[in-house]
Amino acid sequence: MTIATTIREIRDAVRARHRSAADVCREALDRIAALNPQLNAFNTVIADRAIARAEALDRDRDRWRDAPLLGVPVALKDNLCTRGVRTTASSRMLDTFVPPYSATVVEKLDAAGAVIVGKTNLDEFAMGSSTENSAFGPTRNPWALDRIPGGTSGGSAAAVAADLTPLALGSDTGGSIRQPGALCGVVGLKPTYGRVSRYGLIAHASSLDQIGPLARTAHDAALALSIIAGPDPADATSAPEPVPDYTAALTGDVRNARIGIPRRLLEQGVDPEVSRAIDAALDVLRSRGATLVDVELPHAKYAIPVYYLVATAEASSNLARYDGVRYGYRAPTPKDQGLTTKDQGLRTMYGKTRAQGFGPEVKRRIMLGTYVLSAGYYDAYYLKAQQVRTLILRDYDEAFSDVDAVDAIAMPTSPTPAFPIGERVSDPLQMYLADVFTVSANLVGLPAISVPCGFTAGRLPIGLQLTGRRFDEATLLRLADAYERDTEWSKQLPPIASR
């Protein structure tokens, strides 16, 4: 017997004592042991710790009876600090780093009765679109092992898609939850910037990063968000907004919803099979009573260059701390390498540590970011990018607030299905364009969700993305849930999951 495919099934079974948390945990670990060698979804599995936690929940079942995630196995992206568990960001730089504290979201999962089973693979320091930029090798898509799972939360998406865990957390800087969610056929939700505490998240780009869930269904994503959302005194950027019961919003009623479609933005670069699946998905929502209207996002076409100026600049700043002095990887000393005294010195150690500790994509982004922040180029690049970022925000504000305001904006999550591993590694521009429809939500801080909406002829998943008003995740989840009620895409598992 495999683990249940949804959070609710597991939690309710454990609550009713039809199953024990320990049995659920062992079954999840057995599946991870069987499938992870093929998928490479996990960097670290904490089997003994997870079983001990599950057994403790069983012994004190009355105390935990009402816990919303009682006995649910959960995977964490390996850039979320977890006390006492190696946390690497899939980088050689942090290969042996064991945090002395846990991220706020990890503490909230623990308080909700979850059982954390391991840390998932990602693009190094969450920089990439395919989970190929990992010091521990690429993760493979459960639907096609020769294809990428998306990135940077590819390990988390693959874990949920292959039914290894019903819930995983990821981080989203430019689409890193939604895009792998789409390419692996699961739900991926990026909350509003500030909705979820970033305390304990290894930073990539601080004005863009946000933590969110990957799950089998919109209901599971809603339940997870209700748990991890909320203000946090440890994160000054977390918002003091009240957290609603997101599951209560899942009424199935979308008769008053207005969904905007930026048709001009979608005229080029979208795979025909993706376009057809998106049109069919919108027809389902229209049949439920939603109104489809055209919207204009005239500056969204500049989102990719703006994103790769802002994100690289912030990455350059954030990653300056990794110098081999206080923690993390340090290159062997010149004396250890048999070099002469003239080669020794702090500057040499810095250079060698960063050259050896960082992978090619991280180095590329550090160099780009340092360049755009340098004297003589700051105004021409970084400042200009921030100005265009404001124009993109105004476009969305207008769509959500004018006389013909919409409740959500729909587009593909990814312009193409998952591409073969290695196909774009030597072409960074083509790799960056994989995020063309996702980066805007990060630049403007809006919530966005990807929900499975079909397959290509080759059985590769396709995702529909919905972007909403600030702090209105409830509407996005309601639309996604309503769509799921009339379709079967979210219930389908890849062949590898039945082995």
pLDDT of residue 327: 80
Rounded alpha-carbon distances, angstroms, from residue 264 to 137, 178, 410, 416, 480: 38, 22, 13, 17, 24
Q: How many CB atoms lie within 10 A of CB 375?
A: 6
Residue 158 CA to residue 451 CA, distance in Å, equals: 15
Burial 27-49 (b: 16+ CB within 10 A, else e): bbbebbeebbeebbbbbbbbbeb
Rounded alpha-carbon distances, angstroms, from residue 452 to 174, 217, 458, 493: 19, 9, 15, 12
Which pLDDT score, from 0 to 100, does residue 337 have? 56
User: Which residue is listed with tokens 């391991």?
Assistant: 118
Q: Model pTM?
A: 0.96
pLDDT of 277: 98
Highest CATH level, class, for 7-259+407-498: alpha beta
Q: What is the pLDDT of residue 314?
A: 98
* pLDDT in the model for residue 1: 36
- The reported pLDDT for the residue numbered 335 is 60
Q: Tokens in use for 247?
A: 């599951």
Residues 6 or more apart whose Cβ sits within 8 Å of residue 276: 454
Confirm if 232 and 251 have CB atoms less than 8 A apart: no
**Taking the CA of residue 151 as centre, how many other CA atoms within 13 Å lie in the half-sphere pointing to its CB?**
30
Amino acid 328: pLDDT: 87
pLDDT at 334: 58
Rg of the chain taking only CA atoms, in angstroms: 22
Determine contact, residues 438/178, Cβ cutoff 8 Å. Answer: yes
| DSSP conformational letter for 497 | G
463 pairs with which residues across the strands?
452
Tokens, residue 29: 């670990």
Three-state DSSP at 199 gives coil
Please tell me the distance from the alpha carbon of residue 291 to that of residue 243, in angstroms, as a whole number: 28
Pick from 405, 146, 401: nearest CA to 259: 405
What local confidence, expressed as pLDDT, does residue 3 receive? 46
**pLDDT for the residue numbered 2:** 44
* The pair of three-digit structure tokens given for residue 203, joined into one six-digit string: 């930073």
Instruction: Note whether 138 and 123 are within 8 A (CB).
Output: no
3-state secondary structure of 294: strand
Closest CA to 167 of 123, 208, 108: 108
Question: Are 211 and 237 within 8 A, CB to CB?
Answer: no
Q: Which stretches does DSSP call E strand in 350-423?
A: 408-412
**Token pair for residue 84?**
């006492």
pLDDT values of the chain reduced to their tens digit, one per residue, 499 residues = 344 579 999 999 999 999 999 999 999 999 999 999 999 999 999 999 999 999 999 999 999 999 999 999 999 999 999 999 999 999 999 999 999 999 999 999 999 999 999 999 999 999 999 999 999 999 999 999 999 999 999 999 999 999 999 999 999 999 999 999 999 999 999 999 999 999 999 999 999 999 999 999 999 999 999 999 999 999 999 999 999 999 999 999 999 999 999 999 999 999 999 999 999 999 999 999 999 999 999 999 999 999 999 999 999 999 999 999 888 899 987 565 555 555 567 888 889 999 999 999 999 999 999 999 999 999 999 999 999 999 999 999 999 997 789 999 999 999 999 999 999 999 998 999 999 999 999 999 999 999 999 999 999 999 999 999 999 999 999 999 999 999 999 999 999 987 5
User: Considering all CA atoms of the chain, what is the largest pairwise distance in Å, rounded to the nearest integer?
Assistant: 76
Dihedral of CA 270/466/422/456: which sign?
negative
Contact in structure between 161 and 144 (CB atoms under 8 Å): no
Helix (H, G, I), strand (E, B) or coil at 460: coil
